Structure 1
Amino acid sequence: MSIFFTSMWPYLLQLDPNAKLSFFGIVLASFSVGQAIGSPIIGYWSEKSRKFKLPIATGILIGFGCGNLSALRAYVSACSTEQDRNKAISYSFGSFSSGMLSGPILQSIFAMTFGEHTYLKLLDAYTTPAFFLSSAFSITVILVFYFFDDDSFAGVISETDESKVELPQFDKLPAFLCIFLWFIIQLVFVEQESLSTVLTIAMYDWTSNQAIIYNGYIETLSCFITVSTYVVLGSTRIGEINKRFNILVGLGLFASYFIVLLPWPVYSGKLDYNPNVTDGACTYSWCPDLPQVPLPLYLFVYIICNGIAFPFLTNAIGTLFSQILGPKHQGTMQGVYAFFGSLARILAPLMCTTLFDVSGYTWISVIILSENYPNAN
């Protein structure tokens, strides 16, 4: 779905030039409603059926089907031993991030190829990614049905042994903390995902087409750092370091992004306030009051800090959560885990777009920082 991140706001303005950021937030949140509903249902389905092929294949249904991530996480836990869990989760999340990496690249290619032109009255920089993604989903479903094996599990007790051994209940407090941290991570990630195009248009006077292309480059570089970090975490001893330490490192790096966005007096640049244009300037009432964050500094925290923070957090929290649940089928609890992530993806666009429209990026940064630092203690 990262193929749509940078182009959704310009496309909405093309459809409705009078669209407000608050409505854009509703559009973004609506996608995650289906995911929030689907996550616990698909997770429960995979646990009770002890099969993963059909639950994973539901991913072809945009929205509800994206709840198949709960089944994917449960499958990774079921197919890995506790000793290999860190590596399995690192590589699975790394594979997921590889898809996130390819999305902005493809969107930039489509934007450069089509520009403002439309071909066959149907294909342009905004619609071509949707056709491409639909084809990719169809191919993926075929591959799942013909090549996916969900008959053997190394990380769970067999049904025969399960009838002989009574597994203890998992510790609910650590599990809740993992779910809460995942909620916070998704709040941060979706804030960046939903506002990157809007923010850079306002801050650096990029046109919509420039914002799509340049943010595609930025997202691609950040995702490349993310994938590389997952590989390092999965193949070296860094991933085996105390998980609390990794979580603190991740939270600190995430916080650096929002610290940089605060209106520090050392920032000398001013925003180009022009309420009379529709593209390529800062048109909001708060523009005269906020300084411009230096572009090199913004690129550094977005690409490097965020690129490293996300895998440090998701790997540590995902591994801990799976180990806390124990050697059992985890579909239901992984569904709960994914549900709260989806809930964050519903709330974040509504909150961030409304705040950005009214007050810019300052209060968003303050709120996110107030959520991060208490969790780091």
Structure 2
Amino acid sequence: MFLSSIGFSIVIMSIWPYLQKVDQTADASFLGWVIASFSLGQMVASPLFGLWSNHRPRREPLVVSLCVSVAANCLYAYVHVPASHNKYYMLAARGLVGVGAGNVAVIRSYIAGATSLQERTGAMANTSACQALGFILGPVFQTCFALIGDKGVTWEALRLQVNMYTAPVLLGALLGVLNIVLILVVLREYRVDDSGRQCKNVNFEEANVDAAPAPQGHIDQVAVLATNVLFFVVLFIFALFETIITPLTMDMYAWTQEQAVLYGGIILAALGAEAVAVLLGVKILSKKAGERAVLLGGLLVVWAGFFILLPWGSRFPMVQWEDLHNGSAPGPTFGEAALGLWKAPGDHSEAPTGCPLVQAWCRYTPVVHLAQFLTAAVLIGVGYPACNAMSYTLYSKILGPQPQGVYMGWLTASGSAARILGPVFISQVYARRGPRWAFGLVCGLVGLAAALLGLVYRRLVAFSERL
């Protein structure tokens, strides 16, 4: 998970300038499709890899998915070669990287099957912490690759350009190969029941005659569905929060795009470090309070964070009074907001700052103070990782010792759908109605999720506890 997370996040910062370089017809809306293609690919592939892992040794879908990722990264490095339609090759490459990332379902199902109930929470939290750490270090490595420059070095024999855009994906491909070697050499498959006793398993390459049969029983489908919905909400709210940081800070504090990207990147990096600490802490807290209580507490903390983001008071944001006859869209869309993520700090523009008057709410909606925003970010940074880890843990315990590949695939797919829909939702509501409506609706959504958790609270128990 750590190496895969680095391989994904190390590319994010360079997508937009590379897309512009290889195909000048690409615009902000197409960038949005390139970004979304990863989640679309993962959403489609996760259940398929999960089904595969239920009936065959897990190393098979893991190795195949990593081979797809390696090939996709190599394709990404060569999208400059075709004479035309380069942007579609990049779209395909990112989609295939998402297909390879569908192995998350296999990884989670392996952890669930290889740990007892006592070990499950700690193992899931450790996995999430490794994933979060990889997302933190990826952009750091990307910054280092920026030293190579735009032109870099060209290997004519292979028509390969090694520059600040392709070096990250080549490293991602190398990490994928390393992952394949580790799986083939190190990974040993075994399966235990909730008490830690070894069970018979189709994933074994050699049957163990001494292994106990897996306990039989029906999975609580209501609990499964409820957990999928809760997981969707958890990833939905964090995806929209990541998306809204840049346009919100530009509108509320009259930051330039460069300032919003720089400070927003610092905030997200700090939230990533905070997430690692939180994930290590919930391992201890869940043993005392239980996973359900930690999940509920995390939702309440997230709700408090978005409630604090609601505009209050009599002070209003600075409004742009520049000429409005420029055909601009009402506020930044998802793709346009994402453009700032790939602008270099030195790319200073003379664009006006403040809340654009084409967003009518700028004239009557109070400002979200910086202290509000930072406090909310800290709270969301506490609640999100706790909810994420507890959702996975509860889900795996509800499913029990049976092969969980397909179910984990659906859970991963629901998270991928959330990462697609979250940015679309927040960009549309924010641009048309402003932060009061946007964050108010999010508060309502989180409140409904907490209410759903309350309704099914008694059903979210381990499989063995229902027998």
TM interval, shorter chain, is: 0.7 to 0.9
SS of 1:314's partner is: helix
Matched, 1:195 2:244: yes
Alignment of 1:92-241 (within 5 A): 92-107=127-142, 118-120=150-152, 129-147=168-186, 149-155=187-193, 157-159=199-201, 167-234=216-283, 236-241=284-289
Cα distance between partner residues in 2 of 1:202 and 1:19 = 23
Change in Cα spacing, 1:219 to 1:150, as seen in structure 2 (3 Å) is same
Aligned partner of 1:34 in structure 2 is 41
Deviates more, 1:154-163 or 1:24-33: 154-163
2:376 to 301, 313, 332: 301
Aligned partner of 1:258 in structure 2 is 306
Cα distance between partner residues in 1 of 2:225 and 2:129 = 24
Change in Cα spacing, 1:268 to 1:166, as seen in structure 2 (3 Å) is closer
Cα distance between partner residues in 2 of 1:195 and 1:108 = 23
Aligned partner of 2:292 in structure 1 is 244
Aligned partner of 2:115 in structure 1 is 80
Q: Is the 8 A contact 1:39 1:339 kept in 2?
A: yes
Q: Is the 8 A contact 1:270 1:291 kept in 2?
A: no
Aligned partner of 2:446 in structure 1 is 372
What is the CA deviation profile of residues 183-241 of structure 1, one whole-angstrom value per residue up to 9, with x for unaligned ones?
A: 1111112112233333333333444443333222111110111111111222x244441
Q: Which amino acid is the alignment partner of residue 247 of structure 1? A: L
Q: Is the 8 A contact 2:42 2:98 kept in 1?
A: yes
Change in Cα spacing, 1:118 to 1:359, as seen in structure 2 (3 Å) is farther
- Alpha-carbon distance, 1:353 to partner: 2.4
Cα distance between partner residues in 1 of 2:399 and 2:179 = 29
- Alpha-carbon distance, 1:23 to partner: 5.7
- Alpha-carbon distance, 1:325 to partner: 0.6
Change in Cα spacing, 1:260 to 1:177, as seen in structure 2 (3 Å) is same
Change in Cα spacing, 1:350 to 1:233, as seen in structure 2 (3 Å) is same
Q: Is the 8 A contact 2:231 2:391 kept in 1?
A: yes
Cα distance between partner residues in 1 of 2:259 and 2:172 = 22
Aligned partner of 2:367 in structure 1 is 292
Deviates more, 1:65-74 or 1:186-195: 186-195
Aligned partner of 2:125 in structure 1 is 90
What is the CA deviation profile of residues 317-363 of structure 1, one whole-angstrom value per residue up to 9, with x for unaligned ones?
A: 21111111111221111111111111222222322223333334333
Aligned partner of 1:66 in structure 2 is 101
Deviates more, 1:327-336 or 1:122-131: 122-131
What is the CA deviation profile of residues 25-59 of structure 1, one whole-angstrom value per residue up to 9, with x for unaligned ones?
A: 54433321111100100111111103235426514
Change in Cα spacing, 1:47 to 1:150, as seen in structure 2 (3 Å) is farther
Cα distance between partner residues in 1 of 2:247 and 2:167 = 22
Change in Cα spacing, 1:136 to 1:354, as seen in structure 2 (3 Å) is farther
Cα distance between partner residues in 1 of 2:289 and 2:164 = 44
What is the CA deviation profile of residues 54-79 of structure 1, one whole-angstrom value per residue up to 9, with x for unaligned ones?
A: 42651424111111110110011111
For structure 2, list consecutive stretches of 5 or more residues without a partner in the other structure.
Answer: 1-7, 70-95, 154-160, 202-208, 327-349, 452-467
SS of 2:117's partner is: coil
SS of 2:118's partner is: coil
Change in Cα spacing, 1:84 to 1:18, as seen in structure 2 (3 Å) is closer
Alignment of 1:353-368 (within 5 A): 353-368=427-442
- Alpha-carbon distance, 1:179 to partner: 0.8
Q: Is the 8 A contact 2:254 2:318 kept in 1?
A: no
Q: Is the 8 A contact 2:124 2:392 kept in 1?
A: yes
SS of 1:84's partner is: helix
- Alpha-carbon distance, 1:278 to partner: 4.3
Cα distance between partner residues in 1 of 2:17 and 2:435 = 19
Q: Which amino acid is the alignment partner of residue 120 of structure 1? A: G
SS of 2:313's partner is: coil
Change in Cα spacing, 1:311 to 1:259, as seen in structure 2 (3 Å) is same
Structure with more relative contact order (C-alpha pairs < 8 Å, separation 6 or more) = 1
Change in Cα spacing, 1:257 to 1:324, as seen in structure 2 (3 Å) is same
- Alpha-carbon distance, 1:5 to partner: 5.5
Cα distance between partner residues in 2 of 1:177 and 1:233 = 22
Number of aligned residue pairs: give it: 370
Cα distance between partner residues in 1 of 2:319 and 2:386 = 34
Q: Is the 8 A contact 1:56 1:68 kept in 2?
A: no
Deviates more, 1:225-234 or 1:342-351: 342-351
- Alpha-carbon distance, 1:123 to partner: 7.4
Percent sequence identity is 27
